[in-house]
Amino acid sequence: MRVTVFGASGLLGREVARALDGEALTALSREDADIRDAARVREVVRESRPEWIILCAAYADVDGCESNRGLALAVNCEGAVRVTEAARECGSRLMFLSSDYVFDGTKASPYEIDDRRNPINYYGETKARAEKRLLEMLPEVCIVRTSWLFGHGGKCFPATMLKLARTQRELSVVNDQRGSPTFTPDLAAALVELCRRGARGIVHATNSGACTWYEFAREIIEMARLDAAVKPVTSAQFPRPARRPANSVLSPASLHAYGLQMPEWRDALRRYISEGEGL
């Protein structure tokens, strides 16, 4: 496959580029091509003429999006539109990475692909707007929603917990937000397979199983054999600029429909820990 990846220097983009080793790959960092620059986006797509464009580039600082709304909208929505325009001009298929945060978290069961979007933070709002625009512009687009990403070589929840556990005896972590931790190498492998299988529409792709942030933190500390205690707290006790949904677990039915299943999140975490990340 000829594939162009935007955001190839990010936490997920690096793994996507790795998973495409051996393919005809054009891997673009923000320095190579800022997706807010329509002319540059058009130029690199025309030069690479990909069969697939995988759009990993995003402003993913959920709290930062609340205070930098112009930047969040320019990257996560308008930038995605610029890439979609270039894909349409060149006849390329497009895969857009979206988020569990397009939902409000009030549903008791896992979210299905056709559940109503109702984001409660601005990051989720920018992703929801982008989804709607892209589906209107390019009906064959593949939108992949994922959640709670962690991986090598960048800021993520396990790396933060491991760092804190080396200097603090007790960690307070919220226990009333539930989702599915997702390991970037596992997600990258699934994205490449979805491209190979010609996926279109909305797909939910996360590691299987679910937990709260507190349960996730407790597993991290136990697997790393560290001595820090983990204390459960409520979101109200740990206020942040952006609200988070209480439940953002995504149903895997749409992924299973393509014959794909991702490993359980604890298995993914064991691999992350065993590779020594953050230790």
Q: Which residues are catalytic?
A: 123
* CA 51 vs CA 4, 21, 48, 102, 247: distances in Å: 8, 16, 9, 28, 36
Report the candidate in 130, 120, 124 with the shortest Cα–Cα distance to residue 96. 130
Q: Which residues, in sequence order, are bridge partners of residue 264?
A: 208
**Burial state string for 8-39 with b = 16 or more CB within 10 A and e = fewer than 16:** bbbbbbbbbbbbbeeeebbbbbbeebbbeeee
Dist. CA 162–CA 51, nearest whole Å: 40
Dist. CA 183–CA 238, nearest whole Å: 25
Return the SS3 of 179.
strand
3-state secondary structure 199-259: CCEEEECCCECCEEHHHHHHHHHHHCCCCCEEEEECHHHCCCCCCCCCECCECCHHHHCCC
Which residues, in sequence order, are CB contacts of 132 under 8 Å at separation 6+?
A: 117
